[in-house]
Amino acid sequence: SMQTSGNKLCSCPSFKLREVASMYFTMITVFLVILVVALRGLAPHGSDFPYKVTLDPKGLLELSWNVSYPDEVVNFRLLIRDLKFGLLFGMSDRGEFEDADLAVLWSDGHNSYFGDAWSDAKGQLHMDSQQDYQLLGAQRAPEGLYLLFRRAFSTCDPKDYLIEDDTVHLIYGILEKPVHSLEAINISAIHRGLQRVQLLKPNITIPEMPSDMKIKEITVLNVVIPSQETTYWCSTTELPEGFPKHHIIMYEPVITPGNEALVHHMEVFQCAATFDSFPQYDGPCDSKMKPDQLNYCRHVLAAWAMGAQAFYYPKEAGLVFGGPGFSRYLRLEIHYHNPLVFKGRRDSSGIRLYYTATLRQHDAGIMELGLVYTPVMAIPPGEDAFNFTGYCTDKCTQLALPAGGIRIFASQLHTHLAGRKVVTVLARDGREQQVVNSDRHYSPHFQEIRMLKEVVAVFPGDELITTCLYNTEDRTNATVGGFGIREEMCVNYVHYYPQTQLELCKSAVDPGYLHRYFNLVNRFNDEEVCMCPQVSVPQQFSSVPWNTFNKDMLKSLYGFAPISVHCNKSSAVRFPVRTSSLPKLPKKTPSCR
């Protein structure tokens, strides 16, 4: 029988055959004992596994992997530095240990076993009847035990995680005592954690680097990482006066050795060009000592998150660096994640930019898609899956894009803490053409600029539709759109060439229709929302009694009301687009499953 898994068709054996296979696999795994042997010889070459991430804060588990697109498999190499009695490694929807797909190495004190397992909704482990984590070998080395195994992107097993292009929540657990069987492992009692990565990296061709390539390292200098779980550190730097126009053609992370598990993500921002001078600052981003001018450094030049490699611009384009109209002042922001609260750790991490004076054919641009930052877009409390959609309309692209169109080659999705899924689709003539970027396991704690597998061409008259899904189950008040971390955003920063004047192509519901919504709430709920002009929209939302009727009405409003379109040039001047027009939805609406 043919069974669909995601978009993949895979032929599954018939039921009887599966039963036999199931017994056979269980026999192999449980009775024949897959012994983990200490093989002689060297550890596998690092170059065979180009992607690497430390799983735990102590750095005891180091995962490397490579991707074979022809075979549709991921090959893993897991270095266990201090093996006790085994470990769990796997994937789950958002990093939970319930309903997880796991590879387990365990020891009863005499023999070691390896098997593919799954956990149920209560966190109880079960051996999988279909063994899809395939053990390739185990090798002892001075630094620890290397475990090599592989896993297909898509299996015919309903208990297995479907590996896609988006964020993957990897989970791990360390067994510190012997266990007599897989089922006897109590996952709530073990040392465990999660790490987010994008496993399926795009298989891009690395462009040739020019001979006149120069390097600028934008790093912090010997900072003492604060002894608290989360720190955002801000540091300013400047380019020399009269620095001429160059193109950034690649960048990569510079991580202080030993801090690989602490440096969570980093971004370099360019400051507004209006400042002639800029205060120097090196300290926590939330400090009262931080100069206000740093809030005007919002234009992303480079972004890196754990597990990401070097970022390459396509050979046709480079990002403008220096020259007229380019601010000399840059801000580096580093997110330190220090859950074990190490004290006195010093760090000099940052981002290394590679740039050239030999300009490429096109300047690359960055455009914001999605929703305008405005409190008129609000999410009621207690919602497990609330959708917002922002439109870059056909009228805006018709006015602002060149006749030959633009090419999107990378994308960075962005929401605040309630964001769970983000997808941008391209629509032409009212029909969905293709997905530009989608992350159905999106996490606000893992935002990297991702190179797209294939370049997306956008022409005048096309629409770019961005949908974000939010979860506010843990909140008691409405969450409004805005800049604060407890407020929400729905943005896709797309990287494209050739650069145009269009910096922002977004929408929000027409504010007049929100006024009508509050009037309706008052008619049905004893005039609870104050309609006087001095009361702000967030205050109005906070006084809405959030019953099912008011929630459903708000959802309907966002689904049908006319939108206000922002079609902005770099100078925040709008292209002349009529602000209210009913969104013309594609026949196939963007799905955010």
AA letter at 530: C
The answer on pLDDT for 8 being more than 60 is no
Residue 299: the pLDDT is 83
- Among 322, 232, 325, 218, residue whose Cα is nearest residue 272: 325
Average pLDDT along the chain: 87
Question: Active-site residues: which are they?
Answer: 232, 414
CB 416, CB 485: distance < 8 Å:
yes
Residue at 12 is within a domain: no
Phi first, then psi, for residue 358 (nearest 5°) are: -80, 95
The C-alpha atoms of residue 220 and residue 223 are separated, in whole angstroms, by 6
CATH of the domain at 469: 2.60.120.230
User: Which range, of 267-271, 407-411, 532-536, averages the lowest pLDDT?
Assistant: 532-536
Amino acid letter for position 429: D
Model pTM score: 0.83
546 burial (CB, 10 Å; 0-12 / 13-18 / 19+) is: middle
Q: Is the pLDDT of residue 65 over 70?
A: yes
What is the tens place of the pLDDT at every residue in 303-334? 888 777 789 999 999 999 999 989 999 999 99
Report pLDDT digits (tens) over 215-235: 999 999 999 999 998 899 999
Res 314: pLDDT: 93
Tell whether 267 and 297 lie within a shared domain. Answer: yes
Last residue of a domain, one of 360, 384, 406: 360
d(CA 101, CA 152): 13
pLDDT of residue 503: 87
Q: What are the two backbone dihedrals, phi and then psi, of residue 577, each rounded to the nearest 5 degrees?
A: -110, 135
Domain span holding position 526:
365-580
Q: What is the tens place of the pLDDT at every residue in 166-208?
A: 999 999 999 999 999 999 999 999 999 999 999 999 887 788 8
Asked whether residue 248 is domain-assigned, the answer is yes
The answer to whether residue 297 sits within a structural domain is yes
Within 13 Å of residue 417, how many CA atoms lie on the same side as its CB? 10
| Residue 89 and residue 72 share a domain | yes
188 located within any domain: yes
pLDDT value at residue 46? 53
Check the CA dihedral 183-184-187-188 and report its sign.
Answer: positive
559 and 427, same domain (yes or no): yes
Q: What is the pLDDT of residue 206?
A: 82
Say yes or no: 500 and 574 in one domain. Answer: yes
Is residue 9 within 8 Å of 165, Cβ to Cβ? no
Q: pLDDT grade, residue 570 (50/70/90)?
A: low
Q: Report the number of distinct structural domains present in the chain.
A: 3
Q: How confident is the model at residue 162 (pLDDT cuts 50, 70, 90)?
A: very high
pLDDT, mean of residues 510-526: 91
**Judgement on whether residues 480 and 446 belong to the same structural domain of the protein:** yes
**CA–CA separation, 151 and 200 (whole Å):** 12
Q: Tell me, yes or no, whether 38 lies in a domain.
A: no
Confidence category of residue 275, pLDDT binned at 50, 70, 90:
confident
Work out whether the CA dihedral 54, 55, 61, 62 comes out positive or negative.
negative
Residue 464 scores a pLDDT above 90: yes
The pLDDT-based confidence of 565 (bands split at 50, 70, 90) is very high
8 A C-beta contact, residue 356 and residue 214: yes
Domain containing residue 332: CATH number? 2.60.120.310
On whether both 439 and 303 belong to a single domain, the answer is no
Domain membership flag for residue 46:
no
pLDDT > 70: what percent of the chain? Answer: 88
Tokens found for residue 107? 């020891």
- 70-111 per-position pLDDT tens digit: 999 999 999 999 999 999 999 999 999 999 999 999 999 999
The highest-confidence range among 43-47, 246-250, 412-416, by mean pLDDT, is 246-250
